[in-house]
A and B are shown apart, each in its own frame.
Chain A
Amino acid sequence: QVQLQESGPGLVKPSETLSLTCTVSYGSISNYHWGWIRQPPEKGLEWIGYISYTGATSYNPSLKSRVTISLDTPNNRFSLRLMSVTAADTAVYYCVRVVTGTSNYDHWGQGILVTVSS
């Protein structure tokens, strides 16, 4: 059973860059899409973007100028970078696996809370 685990700092200062990594265990990066979704405290889910196993990316238009998602296939992991963060970027960040060609976000990490504060 594939498992996803987010890692990274839980506290980021305003105007700095948020960097998270998702490690994929018991499964291969190949033949799936890999994405990030976030949830501000007490609020709903927000789609950040995803990357295909070929490296093609798609981002939420409202975040596109600040976001980069990248693959590290040899190490079976992928990453999120979000630049110039503000308090509005405080959220639980989830990494997810998407079955290519479907809307099935079938595996999720447990989530990591990232707080933006000085």
Chain B
Amino acid sequence: QAALTQPASVSGSPGQSITISCTGTTSDVGAYKYVSWYQQHPGKAPKVMIYDVSNRPSGVSNRFSGSKSGNTASLTISGLQAEDEADYYCTSYTSSGTYVFGTGTKVTVL
């Protein structure tokens, strides 16, 4: 199964909004609502930020939001803060009954 495609890097200034895309196929992202997003700081375990396309777990800032259109899911971070600087990964359920991760995006706060 091929990894989902994410931009290698995205950057923004404090207070700005950024969007990270996650492109798959009609056999994964396009077919299911089971897309989630993870934030990973260096040397740490990933942390779920969004699940099932647009659901935000308790305790996650409402500055994080998710959406999907066709075969592409997106994570938007509004009001960018220094603490948001991290790697972000999407993952999607697939028609094979498995999950596949995205290639990962490094977010830099300028």
Residue numbers of A with Cβ under 8 A of B are 37, 44-47, 49-50, 58-62, 94, 99, 102-106, 108-111
From DSSP, what is the main secondary structure of chain B's interface residues?
strand
Contact B93–A45 (Cβ < 8 Å): no
Contact A45–B101 (Cβ < 8 Å): yes
Contact B98–A49 (Cβ < 8 Å): yes
Instruction: Determine the distance from Cα of A110 to Cα of B44 in the docked complex, in whole angstroms.
Output: 7
Instruction: Determine the distance from Cα of A59 to Cα of B40 in the docked complex, in whole angstroms.
Output: 23
Check B69 for interface membership: any CB of A closer than 8 A: no
Chain A residue at minimum C-beta to C-beta distance from B104: A44
Q: Beta-carbon contacts of B77-93 to A below 8 Å, as 1s and 0s?
A: 00000000000010111
Check B100 for interface membership: any CB of A closer than 8 A: yes
Q: Which 9 A-B pairs have the closest CB atoms?
A: A104-B51, A103-B34, A103-B36, A108-B45, A44-B104, A45-B101, A47-B99, A103-B51, A58-B97
Contacting residues, chain B, for A104 (C-beta < 8 A): 36, 48, 51-52, 55, 57
Contact B101–A103 (Cβ < 8 Å): no
Check B64 for interface membership: any CB of A closer than 8 A: no
Instruction: Determine the distance from Cα of A58 to Cα of B99 in the docked complex, in whole angstroms.
Output: 9
What band does the interface of chain B fall in when counting residues whose beta carbon is under 8 Å from A?
20 to 34
Contact B98–A102 (Cβ < 8 Å): no
Known: A58-B97, A103-B91. 12 other contacts (CB 8 A): A44-B103, A45-B46, A45-B91, A46-B101, A47-B99, A49-B98, A61-B96, A61-B98, A94-B46, A103-B52, A104-B48, A105-B51
Instruction: Determine the distance from Cα of A12 to Cα of B38 in the docked complex, in whole angstroms.
Output: 29
Instruction: Determine the distance from Cα of A106 to Cα of B45 in the docked complex, in whole angstroms.
Output: 11
Instruction: Determine the distance from Cα of A99 to Cα of B38 in the docked complex, in whole angstroms.
Output: 15
Instruction: Determine the distance from Cα of A60 to Cα of B91 in the docked complex, in whole angstroms.
Output: 13
Contact A94–B45 (Cβ < 8 Å): yes
Contacting residues, chain B, for A105 (C-beta < 8 A): 36, 38, 46, 48, 51, 91
Contacting residues, chain B, for A111 (C-beta < 8 A): 45
Contacting residues, chain A, for B104 (C-beta < 8 A): 44-45
Chain B residue at minimum C-beta to C-beta distance from A44: B104
Contacting residues, chain B, for A103 (C-beta < 8 A): 33-36, 51-52, 91-93, 99
